[in-house]
Amino acid sequence: MKRVLLFNGFALVCLALPAAAQEAPAPATFPGVPVPPSGPAPSSSSSPAPAMGAPPPIPQAAPRALEPSSGLLWLLAGSGLTAAGAVNLATAPVCTLSTIRSSAQPACLGTSIAFGVGLLAAGVPLLVVGVGKRSAWVEWSKSQRVGFAPAPGGAMAAWSWTF
């Protein structure tokens, strides 16, 4: 036999066990300690308890918009990788100077170009994503009414409004 219970909008299915399986095992007894009587608790009235409905909903505050990522780490990582790639590509012609052995020049040039292009390929998308996140953060920060900022000797709080 199945029973379906509703709990905060979720349906719980309970399977009824045979009567022998529903009985609790006998409690352990110790010498000199009285055992309380088992069975249903005595009722003061013969009428059954009123049925309980679902609890009333709990009022909740309106969700606040969470602060988006400022994009600063994305910008820093993208700037670093892009700069390293640009420097690597800009210094690649050094590999063709006469001070470098002629047999090592092609490997040096190919490695410099490969690393430069790879670093640029990693850095430019990070910059693009960082700029997008930063602009979203700037728009979000403009919509906030209360702000805090560090100041010499302490901090500064600000509150803005429009009319």
Give the pLDDT confidence of 44-82 residue by residue, as tens digits: 555 555 556 667 776 665 565 677 888 999 999 999 999
94 in any annotated domain: yes
- Taking only the tens place, the pLDDT of each residue in 106-139 is 888 999 999 999 999 999 999 999 999 999 988 8
HSE toward the beta carbon, residue 105, CA cutoff 13 A: 11
Q: Which residue has the tokens 């409690």?
A: 27
80 in any annotated domain: yes
- Taking only the tens place, the pLDDT of each residue in 87-109 is 999 998 888 887 778 888 888 89
Range of the structural domain that residue 111 is part of: 72-141
Q: Which residue has the tokens 């399986």?
A: 21
pLDDT of residue 9: 43
Mean pLDDT of the chain: 74
Question: Could you tell me if 8 and 54 are in contact, meaning their C-beta atoms sit under 8 angstroms apart?
Answer: yes
60 in any annotated domain: no
pLDDT of residue 132: 95
Strands 2-7 and 10-15: antiparallel
Question: Could you tell me if 72 and 140 are in contact, meaning their C-beta atoms sit under 8 angstroms apart?
Answer: no
Q: Which residue has the tokens 């040096």?
A: 108
Q: Domain count of the chain?
A: 1
93 in any annotated domain: yes
Instruction: Tell me how crowded residue 136 is: count the other CB atoms within 10 A of its CB.
Output: 14
Confidence at 17, pLDDT banded by 50, 70, 90: very low
